[in-house]
Chains A and B, each alone.
Chain A
Amino acid sequence: MSNDHGHHPEPLSDVERRARALEELLTEKGIVSAEFIDQVVEAYAQDIGPMNGAKVVARAWVDPEYKRRLLADGTAAIAELGIGGPEGDHVVAVENTPEVHNVVVCTLCSCYPWPVLGLPPTWYKSPPYRSRMVREPRTVLAEMGCDVPDDVEIRVWDSSAEMRYLVLPARPPGTDAVSEEDLAATVTRDAMIGVARP
């Protein structure tokens, strides 16, 4: 794979040099194959991302029975749509209502439901988010442009063990005539983490 790295127009940064050193060592020793690396990169760059979670949310919005199953057993309900994989063995869906707003964090590392949301954004993995969301969630949400009224309970979910959380946002009003597919296109990653309200 070393030839693939020959196109860099600029000198490698320190961390890039280290990453390249490790990759080359491991491929040369046959510990990791270049084919494996290419497959994983392609999957996470193209096929695994919040569009999967958006399908789950849209289905729950149009199908009350599906929503009931999703809230009862998130893992089984996303599997119905063919969604699953690493970091998705135990998915819990939490529903936003007029009384409750849910938001997800991982204070110890950056646990995140990969099969439905893809890999987490940098801010989710950052010390400010991880330190503050459990302590001053209303303030952090407001700073992020998500104002939650004082009379709405904010439920923070710290995914510190096996469960991975998916927030089921409230269906926007006036969307009764909108198709499931078009609804899915309106569901954002941030709404499914709980830092935005659609």
Chain B
Amino acid sequence: MDGVHDLGGMQGFGPVEVEPDEPTFHGEWEARMFAVAGGALGAGGFNTPMFRHAIERMDPGHYLTSSYFEHWLTAVATLLVENGMISRGELDARASAFPLSRPPAVDADDVGAVSPREEPRFAVGDAVRVRDLHFGGHTRCPRYARGRRGVVARIDVAAPIPEVEAHRRERVLDPTYGVRFDSAELWSDAAEANAPVHVDLYELYLEPA
């Protein structure tokens, strides 16, 4: 989905605020939430793409104004309510007006038929273009790379297609690549010189350029 989480290249967020000597967890609740999330995702059989998409489905205002571990809290609670392991009423009884993520905009049938592929179609040095995809569900194709031309810099593992894993819970493999983009290809005359960006992309996001 073209969601608020897809932040690459957006403007207006201001400087990076660094907290000196930051602890791993800010307070006990973050540490416990991290562990609770791991346990709950395992118990519910939720895969990482499902978890990521539950974060992506948060209300955009809530997403931008809440911490990383609040994202986790919201996403885990959402997945557990959606599959019936807990109820919204049970949450609200203990913490009123518990905000959950929005329902998915797509379902399993919206994921087109894809065949597993393990043999890479592209070689290092090949010119590729990122397809201009606007799938309404989970994807790992960042908006800022879509439609842009790059060069295959590295061939990586074949990995489960995120769209399929998130929405059908199936692991259908696709080759992945590290693709190098010149900064001017991404940012035109606003680009900084001598600053290429490597984006890791699934083969189904790519076409020959």
Contact = CB atoms under 8 A, between A and B. Distances in A.
A170 interface: no
A150 interface: yes
B199 interface: yes
**Dominant SS among interface residues on chain B:** mixed
B16 A140 contact: yes
A21 B7 CA distance: 31
Given A138-B195, A153-B194, A154-B195, A26 B36 contact: yes
Contacts, number: 224
B147 interface: no
A31 B81 CA distance: 13
Interface of B: 5-11, 13-19, 22, 24-27, 29, 31-36, 38-40, 43-44, 52, 55, 64, 66-70, 73, 76-77, 80, 85-86, 90-91, 94-95, 98, 140-142, 144, 154, 156-157, 159, 176, 178, 186-187, 190, 192-202
Contact of B140 (A108, A150, A157): A108
A25 interface: yes
Contact of A161 (B31, B34, B201): B201
Given A19-B73, A25-B90, A31-B43, A131 B10 contact: yes
A63 interface: no
A17 B86 CA distance: 17
B192 A161 contact: no
A109 B139 CA distance: 12
Which of A32, A108, A127, A155 has its CB near the most chain B CB atoms (within 10 A)? A108
